[in-house]
């Protein structure tokens, strides 16, 4: 099989498209989480810690400036993202388990099939 043909088959698979959609949604979700951390949680943490603004927190080592506050903010963003994804996956798994436990409703037999079955049964007699 040629390399290009194999590549086309790989791209055409549903998993690749699903992954692409997930990455795009993840990018949009990141901006929501960043806003949550910077605009909601950051000020709350600032109130709790007496007005310390983590984003400006830095340490100077020689000529280098270590932006510790941005690193702390990135950790908080990661933890919130991981927690929200955990809650989403937990709800999804619960929903999926419930779907698996419920038996699928029996499809209703079409009227013409019921009629043919009755005729067959009458002919047997």
CATH code that applies to domain 3-124 = 1.10.1200
Residue 52: pLDDT above 70? no
What residues contact 72, with CB distance under 8 A and at least 6 apart? 54, 57
Q: Model's pTM, two decimal places?
A: 0.49
Q: Please, which pLDDT band fits residue 76 given cuts at 50, 70 and 90?
A: confident
Give the C-alpha separation, 49 to 26, whole Å. 31
Of 102, 45, 90, 123, residue with least CA distance to 55: 45
pLDDT > 80? residue 46: no
pLDDT at 9 over 70: yes
pLDDT, one tens digit per residue, over 61-71 is 999 999 888 88
Per-residue confidence (pLDDT) for residue 53, from 0 to 100: 62
* Pure H helices in 1-125: 3-12, 14-35, 42-48, 68-101, 111-124
CA neighbor of 58 nearest in space, from 74, 70, 48 = 70
């Amino acid at each position: 099989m040629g390399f290009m043909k194999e590549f086309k088959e790989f791209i055409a698979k549903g998993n690749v498209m699903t992954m692409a959609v997930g990455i795009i949604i993840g990018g949009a979700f990141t901006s929501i989480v960043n806003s949550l951390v910077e605009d909601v949680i950051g000020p709350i943490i600032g109130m709790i810690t007496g007005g310390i603004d983590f984003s400006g927190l830095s340490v100077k080592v020689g000529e280098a400036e270590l932006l510790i506050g941005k690193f702390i903010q990135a950790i908080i963003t990661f933890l919130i993202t991981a927690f929200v994804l955990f809650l989403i996956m937990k709800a999804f798994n619960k929903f999926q388990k419930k779907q698996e436990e419920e038996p699928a409703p029996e499809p209703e037999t079409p009227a013409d099939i019921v009629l043919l079955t009755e005729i067959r049964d009458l002919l047997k007699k």
